[in-house]
Amino acid sequence: MKRLTALILTFGTCASLYAQDGDAKSFNIDGFIYTVAALSAIGVLCAVILYFVAQKFKVYEDPRIDAVEGVLPGANCGGCGCAGCRAFAETCVKKGDLSTLQCPVGGNAVMSQIADILGVKAATASPRVAVVRCNGSCTARPRTNRYDGAASCAIEAALYGGDTACQYGCLGHGDCVTACLFNAISINPDTGLPEVDDDACTACGACVKACPKRLIELRKKAPKNRKIYVACRNSDKGATARKACNVACIGCSKCLKACPHEAITVENFLAYIDSDKCKLCRKCVTECSTNSIRELNFPPRKVAVSDAATTPEKTAETVTDTI
């Protein structure tokens, strides 16, 4: 474009100079006309050339891509598995089938909008939220040594198991905090553990990838942000795990027996609650002998000691009803 402008200016100057040669003394209206005419002619010529060039190298782009990109959140977080929102929009249009695609940030609302644009059906996915599965705070997990290297979980994890006897637990340098684009995770200074702001979390999964200990899981979001999960990833034998941390799961399987919904599995001395099967009945929480199962955002329990056998069932029913 710069070259073209320079060319036009040169032509224009030449033309006016030529006109001035004819009669240099007075104002030369002819020179002015020549200049304007020459410039216009060049302009028209270029426009024609550019038109044909544009036609020749035309790339057809589906207008729906722009439309789809318009409804996407524009966070470019990569949670969908594509390199940014534009790439996701292209994938949606190219595939024409939304059954395997999901924008975790926009959720079902955005996916149904995309489905409307493309004229297909969107698969509804239940919204998810990041959960940190470690509760080994500074008080629960005694230190056995002191790490003084670079403040990065990935670097510490590459060096050794960590500064407590639990090699599975949170290292607390906040690689997940750095990875989060939505300011949804912060380290609690009292416990030294990361905490997720459920309303800000979009379940993009960046923290899941950043955590070298694989502590963070995307779990199904329940009403009022209620959640029940095993806040432990220690797969050592019970005695070793307990020695390292007061709130470690020792794999005693009591919760497994208590769960009426078959949501709990125990493998390698470690219990796991499947959030898709869990009905939030809270029976496992009372069973847990090491308090490694956490319940969050529930109303306080009204259980009296005398009728402890019957009340939890009632609570379970009421909770299930509300869902």
Task: Output b/e per residue, 298-313; b: 16+ Cβ within 10 A.
Answer: eeeeeeeeeeeeeebe
List C-alpha distances in Å: 267 to 10, 24, 186, 264, 270: 81, 100, 30, 10, 5
Neighbours of 207 (CB within 10 A): 27
Q: How many helices (H) and strands (E) does the chain have?
A: 12, 8
- Residue the block writes with tokens 């966070």: 75
Residues 138-177 contacting another protein, CB under 8 A: 144-145, 148-150, 152, 154-155, 158-161, 163, 167
Q: Which is nearer to another protein, 101 or 270 (CB)?
A: 270
Q: In the bound complex, what is the minimum distance in angstroms from residue 175's beta carbon to another protein?
A: 10
Does residue 235 bind another protein (CB under 8 A)? no
Is residue 67 part of the contact set for another protein (CB under 8 A)?
Answer: no
Cβ-based nearer residue to another protein, 175 or 198: 175
**Which CB, 12 or 84, lies closer to another protein?**
84
Cα–Cα distance for residue pair 318/313, rounded to 1 Å? 9
- What is the dihedral sign for C-alpha 107, 112, 117, 122? positive
Q: How far is the CB of 148 from another protein (least distance, A)?
A: 5
Comparison of 20 and 144: residue with beta carbon closer to another protein: 144
- Taking residue 58's Cβ as centre, other Cβ atoms within 10 Å add up to 8
Instruction: Tell me the Cα Rg of the chain.
Output: 33
Q: How far is the CB of 155 from another protein (least distance, A)?
A: 5
Rounded to the nearest whole angstrom, what is the least distance from the CB of residue 268 to another protein in the complex?
Answer: 12
Interface residues with another protein (CB under 8 A) are 144-145, 148-150, 152, 154-155, 158-161, 163, 167
